[in-house]
Amino acid sequence: MTARIRVGTASWTDHEPFYPPEYNKADRKAYRISYYARFFSMVEVDSTFYRLQPARNFTMWADRTPDDFVFNVKAYGEMTWHHRDDAKEIITPAAETFAQFSEMIEPLRKANKLGALLFQFPPWFTFGPEQMEYLGTVREMLPEETIAVEFRHRSWVEGANAQETKAALADARLAFVAVDEPQVGSGSMPPIVMLTDPHFSMVRFHGRNRAMWYGKNLTSSRDRSDYLYTRDELMPWAERIQRIAEALQGSEVHVVTNNNASNYSIANAFDMQELLGLTVAGGEAIPEPVGETLAARAATEASSPSADE
């Protein structure tokens, strides 16, 4: 049986043009997840990267989404070697932090709405023996969860390292995250697919904004992913995702759009659903603001000179 493909976005709190005006009111913002779930069956919780949250938040989100909806949860920054102390030294992830994180997401487990845990490592987490050992530690700390690993330094897939990386991930049953992002040096990963968990795979889209990929003093992380994909850019990925689903022969493939400027992430998620032959989760029509974005893109593409001209 071919693996199920779910499409969703990184976060649901962005994408302002996507939501009807009433969802901008203070007392309605907490219900945006319910509106989002009318169109998609999966979402990525990104706020957990920045802070550990009360479990009641996850109970509320689970209660406000359909039975078939799932949440991927991004690992807290300390767990992916992002945090530093006052002396600028990297903080070693603590077992206590893993325990707190696991307790935080318990409501999703109980509701059968926990998808995958995303460990997105920084560019300074490069290929090496200690880093390889830590991958095994992640599995030991969270023995029962579906875990996806995204690297931000290409040393993990260069030369002979690629096979060692694949073996280490497979041994720990960690899913390699395939990414589409600007190709601008060692801090960007090539768009390769590596199947390391027989039951799960993930593909994430960060846009192709080369100018802002290493941007400094950004007003928002969304500036880095300010990019709207064309259907021609997404089509090859749709074909690859279909092949991934066929290779897994069961379980799930998650496709996550993280180009969160404006409503680009939402627009491209609708694109991917269509290209993959998936129906909108609730069977509803594409909301008008998103339709306008897609129409404007189509008009721009139609007026642009072809490569043959």
DSSP string, 154-185: GGGGSTTHHHHHHHHHHHTT-EEEEEE----S
Return the pLDDT at 222.
Answer: 67
307: pLDDT strictly greater than 60: no
The string of pLDDT tens digits covering residues 101-130 is: 999 999 999 999 999 999 999 999 999 999
Whether 23 is covered by a domain: the verdict is: yes
For residues 182-207, give the mean pLDDT. 95
Q: Which domain holds residue 261?
A: 4-303
Question: Tell me, what amino acid is at 243?
Answer: R
pLDDT tens digit string along 270-284? 999 999 999 887 777
pLDDT at res. 225:
76
Q: Is residue 309 part of a domain?
A: no
Number of independent structural domains in the chain:
1
Higher pLDDT, 266 or 16: 266
- Select the more confidently predicted residue: 25 or 123: 123
Q: Is residue 50 part of a domain?
A: yes
Can you give the three-state secondary structure of 8-24, one letter per residue? EEECCCCCHHHCCHHHH
Q: In the predicted model, what is the mean pLDDT of residues 22-31?
A: 88
Residue 177, domain member (yes or no):
yes
Helix (H) or strand (E) holding 243: helix 231-248
**149 contacts 197 by C-beta, under 8 angstroms:** no
Distance of alpha carbon 283 from alpha carbon 34, whole angstroms: 14
In a domain, 71, yes or no: yes
**What's the CATH code of the domain at 147?**
3.20.20.410
For residue 19, is it within any domain?
yes
DSSP state of 147: E
d(Cα 138, Cα 125) in Å, to the nearest integer?
A: 14
- pLDDT tens-digit series, residues 79-109: 999 999 999 999 999 999 999 999 999 999 9
- Please give the distance of CA 292 from its chain centroid, rounded to a whole number: 25
CA distance 195 to 303: 40
pLDDT given for residue 223 in this prediction: 72
Q: Structure pTM?
A: 0.93
In a domain, 212, yes or no: yes
Query: What's the rounded Cα separation, in Å, for the pair 68 and 45?
Result: 17
Q: Mean pLDDT, the chain, as a whole number? A: 93
CA proximity to 279, closest of 1, 48, 7: 7
The CA-based dihedral angle spanning residues 160, 164, 167, 173, taken in that order and rounded to the nearest 10 degrees: -130
* Residue 190 resides in a domain: yes
Q: CA separation (Å) from 191 to 116, 180, 182, 207, 240?
A: 21, 5, 10, 12, 11
Q: How far apart are the first and last CA of the chain?
A: 45
